[in-house]
Structure 1
Amino acid sequence: MPGQEAYVTLVTNDNYALGALALGRSLRDTLTTRRLSLLITDEVSYPMRERLGVLWDELTVVDLLDSGDEDRLALLTRPELGVTFSKLHAWKLTQYSKCVFLDADTLVLENVDELFDREELSAAPDIGWPDCFNSGVFVFEPSVDTYTNLLEMAKQTGSFDGGFK
């Protein structure tokens, strides 16, 4: 049911919020029938939250999950990726039966609502590591149990690329 499904993205600061504005507009322009749910952190300013609220149906404030793994992130020359695991908060959106996560720098050019027909966990292989999936676009079913298990696994084993330690 479309009312129980949502596109989700994460915004950790006002710079990433600019991408979420473009993403939200592109989803609206392609006439999606799904809700738009935005995860934001405290670093997003209140004026920006107001702008985002015009396009996104729901804004949920979440804690920033930072890996603190500067060594591995330095190898990628992407220190900003330490907060990537903040995406895990998406699994707590249990008001939805299914979601499609899209990175805030994604632009939708045509309606992609058919992604909701995919099963959990559907994602494309990562171009740099084909045995891993790209976390920029994926289909998932929210579950607090899954959230808890993913967070615990991340704390215990870390991430090969510095995503969480």
Structure 2
Amino acid sequence: MPNALISTAPDFSQPIAVLKHCHDKIRQQLATLQNLLDHVPQHGSDAQAQQAAHSIMRYFNQAAPHHHADEEHDLLPMLTATATGEDAAVLQKLTPEILAEHQQMDSLWHSLNLQLTHIADGEAAVPLLSAQDVQQFSTIYASHMEKEETWIAPMAKRIFNEQQMQQLGAAMQQRRGISA
């Protein structure tokens, strides 16, 4: 019997739910990143800061690139091939924005990753985490996720048939090296 008290991730038979779950995880990591801005100046690269930095780095170095690839290589192309009328027009406008945001986030991440590496390594005289970088990264991600949750995910749920959902889920699962 499943335990209703334990939150579980959706499986790949629900690919849009998996993408939303990823967004929830991103929000958690962004909150932790924000918390580090206050923590590090007061406590330095202590054990808590190191653990937080490792967690953020693990997520944005491993899971986030898969999430972006899910959208770039599968979700958006499948939507473009399926959408008609107003949906096609919305995609024509949003797809370049989404792809550009992925590039912006990747670029900002490289800078943040270097900063977090110093914290994760417990370096005593670390340069402080850049509040500007954290704010910019968080702002772009928040806007990006809102766009996808407002337009892209509902469109996919509405226009994809069961076979397309299975195809999307299978591609996402394979990208992560998880056997069916």
Q: Structure 1 length normalisation: TM-score?
A: 0.26
Q: Comparing both chains, which one has the higher relative contact order based on Cα–Cα distances under 8 Å and sequence gaps of 6 or more? A: 2
User: Which protein is bigger by CA-based radius of gyration?
Assistant: 2
Q: Structure 2 length normalisation: TM-score?
A: 0.25
Determine which structure has the larger strand proportion and give its number. Answer: 1
